[in-house]
Structures are given as C-alpha cells and as structure tokens.
Amino acid sequence: MSWRGTVLLLILAGVALGYLFFSDRTRTHPPEEPLLAIDPNSASEIGIQEGNSLISLTRTNGVWMIGNAQSGQSDRANPSLVNSLLETAAEIVPLDILRSQDLKDKVTLASLGLKNPNRSIAIRAGKKETLSIGSEGAAPESLYVRLDSGKTVYLISGKIASIAFRPIQEYRDPRLTSLSPDHLDEISFTTPSKEIVPQQLLLKRDQKGNRGWLLESPVSTVGDDTAITSWLNSLLASQIIRWMPEGTDSASCGLDTPEALINLHEEGATNPLVITIGAPTPDATGYFARISDRPGIGVIENKVSTALAVTPLALRSKKLTQVEFDTVDRIEILNPSLLSLTRKADNDDWLLSEGTSSNVISGEKVKEWFDQLQNLSASSFEAATPEHLMARGLSETNLPATIRLIARLSENTAQENAGETLLAEYTFGSETNNEIAVRQGDAPELLILPAASAEILKTFSPPIPASATNAPTPAVTP
C-alpha cells in the first residue's frame, strides 16, 4: 500500500472515532440541564401510552382536546392537568446518567424495563421527543427513562409519571363549560319538571347603551346586572365530579324529564350551548347532566342546586328607572304642595321654589339627594291592578306624592313648558304594614319598598318666604 493510502486510512479511522465519540456526547444531556428541550407554550401534541391504552391530546386554536380512539369522539381536556404535565416535563433534570458503556452484566436495557417499555410520553413542541419510562430506580421515587431511541439511560424524578399516567376520564375538563358570562348575549332557563311549578327565565343583552341585561320573561323589565353575572358565574363554575360509563341510559339519569334546561347563546354563535340537568344521583353527590358540545353524561356537584333555585325576583332590577343626573334640568316634588328644583344656567347650584318663594340649594346637596332616590330598592313587586292601587293608596281618589324628573330641550321658547320632556315620574302611595308602593309612570307593576323610603319626599324644606328676609326674592326661571 502506498503512503497515500495509509494516510487516507488513518484519516478515515480518526473521523470514525471522532464520530463515535461526539455522537455519544450529543445524545447524552449534560447534568443539571433539562432533559427535554421543550417550551410548554409551544407544545401542540401529547401522546401518553400505557400498555394498550393511548391518550392523545392536541392543541386546537389554543384549546387542548382529548381524543377517544374507541368512540372517535373528542372533548375538552383539563387545561390545569395538561399545563402541569408540560411544565413538569420541561423541568426534568437527570439525577444520574448511564451511558452505553455502563450497560453491561446485569445492568441492561431489559433489566431497567427499557428494551420494550410499557409506558411512554411523547411531546411535540416544534420537534417530537419521546420519553420511554422504565422501572423504578434505586433512589426513592425515581425512574429509569430513555429519550427517543438513544442508548443512554437517565435516572429522573418519578413526579412526571404520577401526573401523566391516570385514567382517561381524569383528563377531561371538569368545568361545565368554557363559556364566559361576558360573551353571552341571550340566556334561557327553563324548569319543566312536574315536581315544581314550570317557569322560564329569558334574559337578553340590551343592544343599546351599556349592553346591560334585560329580563324578557316572565316579566319584561330591566335586569340586575350584578345579580345576573353572579348567578352565571355560580352556574358556569360548577364542576363535573365524574363521568358515567359510555352507553349509560339517559332516561335512568332523569335526562328525558329534566329538572332544568339552560340555553346559553354566545355572541356570534349559530347555535346555543344546551345544558340539561337531570335527576339527583342516588348517592346524593350531585346531579346528572348532559352538555350539548361534550360527549357522555356527567355528574355535576351538588352546589349547582343553588343556581337552579334562581327566581325572576333575584335577577330583575329592584331599583327605580335610572336617569342620568346631568340630563335633569328640573325636579318637581308634590308632597302635598309643589316644590320645584331648577338647575341654574350659570353655575352648579339649583333654585328651590314654592309659589313665589325661592332660595338657592347647592348642586352637591341635590346630587346627594338624587343618588339616594336612584338607589331606592324594592323588596317585592305587585301588579298595578285597581285592587292593589286602592290598597296601596294610589287610586285616583287619593292625592299621592309624586317626584318628576324633567329635561329642558330648549331654553328659548315662547311658552313656559315648551321644549320640556318628562324623563321619569315616581308616584308614592301611602304606608301599609311598614311598606310603601311606588309606581313609575303608568307601569303595570308596583315596586314595594320599606316605608322609610318615603322620607326622600321630605328632604327639601319649603323655601323661606321672601318677606322673612331682607334679601330680594330671586327671579324664578322655569
């Protein structure tokens, strides 16, 4: 062999040795560095295999979904569990490393449970990495694992196994729904059960103004936004404590004659989400339920019963018709004489008048009184029938006390009342059993308030007559 051939063979041998040396190093993770080079936020697929069981998780539009190979159906996965799995996987640091040359005698892939591993976790975060799980290590709560098809064996904490390997049902999202009250624009709540009086609550977003809630059935009125949001949060936060086996008969769970039907319509959605609440479970741990966008029958925790007991009174506004203070130019209080409060044009003060007498009231005092008026709260409601009007002192034969809120649309008019519009009118009846009824305009309902609410009519004393002072009487501006 020529000297050129000898040199070439030496070069090739060096390259081969270098490849073997560096190849082994590149497939061996340095100590104190994470074993899996993954970013939990970029993960898109997870496969968890244990024996013949495979749990497949896929992120779709930011939502983790769990697939069922047997039924071909999918459901939302538990986001907390998936995030915990990914974060734990990203934090795995080898406790010890066994390289290929260390695997000899009694220490082999087979003896460590890694030749044909029974369990594995595959994560795709850009690239796919598979962690094969072997037998327990010598250290407490540790496991032998292998990364992809590498020959190196790592000893790691067993925490990842306790999180990953669990029944498939535990991977299903325990939340009843992922909908948010802020994104709902219509709600229907029906209780068709024969054991209670059937009723239907229908709530819709007001498409004008601040998009508050309106109660359209069983009465048409303004909803209490705070109460409705609290009710929805309570309902939607209900947890599914377990799932029934596939093929469970819906009739045996009371879902053919449900306790409640709830339709939740999300903004922009074509069809509503339907939640069907069935019978209580025999062990009294919850209620059977079916959710239209999820497969199977679940059991909702017992505390959902509080949300199911909601009434129209609990969700409707109990306040008077709300008016913006800045839109009011004049306030009339009839009790029994007529007091008039008129906003002054040149400053924040108001002019309190009765007949030809008047004096100035600060804007702060008027605003404080106005806020008290707007915050009066009813304890119940009655139909404004002739019988109720008579009993509450609101019949035509009485002289009820009245508050009128008036806006002036034009300040330059030929007639005194031209350009004025009535914003709201509240008529107070007489005290009965420590209660007082208030009717808003000619509304078909009466608000029943505590009798002390009538004190709002007495806040402003009649103005001091002009003859009792040395000051000239200010002109009354209508």
Question: Could you read off the pLDDT of 270-315 as tens digits, one per residue?
Answer: 999 999 999 999 999 999 999 999 999 999 999 999 999 999 999 9
Q: Is the pLDDT of residue 220 over 50?
A: yes
Q: How far apart are CA 162 and CA 164, in angstroms?
A: 6
Token pair belonging to 419 = 């350009």
Token pair belonging to 174 = 């325990």
Contact 258, 297 (CB under 8 A): no
Q: Give the model's pLDDT for residue 153.
A: 93
Q: Which of 183, 315, 179, 170 is nearest to 243 (CA)?
A: 170
Q: How far apart are CA 295 and CA 402, in angstroms?
A: 58
Q: How far apart are CA 149 and CA 129, in angstroms?
A: 10
The label of the residue with tokens 């093929």 reads 247
Beta partners for residue 330, in sequence order? 342, 406
CB atoms < 10 A from the CB of 190, how many?
A: 16
Mean pLDDT of the chain: 86
Q: Is the pLDDT of residue 17 over 60?
A: no
pLDDT level of residue 37 (50, 70, 90 thresholds): confident
Q: Which of 99, 177, 113, 171 is nearest to 145 (CA)?
A: 113
Q: Give the model's pLDDT for residue 81.
A: 96
The label of the residue with tokens 């948010």 reads 180
Q: Cβ neighbours of residue 368 under 8 Å, at least 6 residues apart?
A: none
Q: Which of 108, 109, 105, 130 is nearest to 119 (CA)?
A: 130
Q: Give the model's pLDDT for residue 24.
A: 44
Q: Cβ neighbours of residue 437 under 8 Å, at least 6 residues apart?
A: 382, 388, 392, 393, 394, 428, 429, 446, 447, 448, 449
Token pair belonging to 74 = 């999918």
Interval 373-421: pLDDT, tens: 999 999 999 999 999 999 999 987 666 899 999 998 765 544 455 578 9
Q: Is the pLDDT of residue 469 over 50?
A: no
CA angle 167, 169, 175 (to 5 degrees): 140
Q: Which of 297, 288, 169, 301 is nearest to 236 (CA)?
A: 301
Q: How far apart are CA 335 and CA 19, in angstroms?
A: 102
Q: Cβ neighbours of residue 169 under 8 Å, at least 6 residues apart?
A: 242, 243
Provide the percentage of residues in the chain whose pLDDT is more than 90: 66
Q: How far apart are CA 305 and CA 75, in angstroms?
A: 25
Q: Cβ neighbours of residue 250 under 8 Å, at least 6 residues apart?
A: 256, 278, 290, 297
Q: Give the model's pLDDT for residue 139.
A: 84
Interval 346-360: pLDDT, tens: 899 999 998 888 899
For residues 217-226, give the mean pLDDT. Answer: 92
Q: Give the model's pLDDT for residue 209.
A: 63
Q: Give the model's pLDDT for residue 461.
A: 75
